[in-house]
Chain A
Amino acid sequence: SQQGEEDPQALSIQEGENATMNCSYKTSINNLQWYRQNSGRGLVHLILIRSNEREKHSGRLRVTLDTSKKSSSLLITASRAADTASYFCATDAIAGKSTFGDGTTLTVKP
């Protein structure tokens, strides 16, 4: 079964609002990564957070990691129409192998 599960499956918000998506996983990890996929494109890496980190920021992105709950969240602040995409978390419970979640489809309405 998938290591990562994302919630919600789909999210629709207005431009300017914040978007929060969550990722839960099952086994211990070394790091967790978030990726974005625009329609018809490959995945683009957004941010990596290591198991000994609790929070990380990159521009309008904020990622948290709670290893005790085996969960992570991605917050996009002040969303823009260009943020419309699918967002995936990936964990590396097994060395050399990243396991991707099912993804959250975000729609930002102008």
Chain B
Amino acid sequence: DTAVSQTPKYLVTQMGNDKSIKCEQNLGHDTMYWYKQDSKKFLKIMFSYNNKELIINETVPNRFSPKSPDKAHLNLHINSLELGDSAVYFCASSRRGGQDEQYFGPGTRLTVT
């Protein structure tokens, strides 16, 4: 059973389009995250939700909007995609924020052309 799953695994789209990435965890964790990993493997947190509430919102363009319909899901919607959005996006979850190990999904490789 996959603990943290993301869909899709690959996403190729054109500039200006709107796309969504879905994430689900079946670990019963309270906290979920979205990270962006660039081509140099630099991993940066974008958002963190705890029990469906936004607790961390880094300096991310407001074209990125997370949505947590319930504790087990955290989706990421991106409007008006730009070339610079090309990266691998990882979803993760933890029992409690920051203090516990995080479980990562397999990643979604987004390519904007």
Contacts and interface: CB of A to CB of B under 8 A. Distances in A.
B101 A33 contact: yes
19 contacts: A2-B42, A30-B98, A30-B99, A31-B99, A41-B107, A42-B4, A42-B104, A43-B90, A43-B92, A43-B104, A92-B99, A94-B98, A95-B97, A96-B48, A96-B98, A97-B48, A97-B98, A98-B102, A102-B40
B57 to A, nearest CB: 11
A86 interface: yes
Nearest to B50: A96
Given A43-B90, A88-B43, A102-B41, A96 B101 contact: no
Contacts of B56: 96-97
B66 interface: no
A105 B43 CA distance: 14
Interface class of chain A by DSSP: strand
Nearest to A91: B98
Interface of B: 4, 31, 35, 40-45, 48, 50, 55-56, 90, 92, 97-107
A48 B99 CA distance: 9
Contacts, number: 64
Given A94-B98, A100-B43, 4 more contacts: A42-B104, A45-B101, A96-B56, A97-B48
Interface of A: 2, 30-31, 33, 35, 37, 40-45, 48, 86, 88, 90, 92, 94-100, 102-103, 105
A31 to B, nearest CB: 7
Given A42-B106, A96-B50, A96-B56, A48 B101 contact: yes
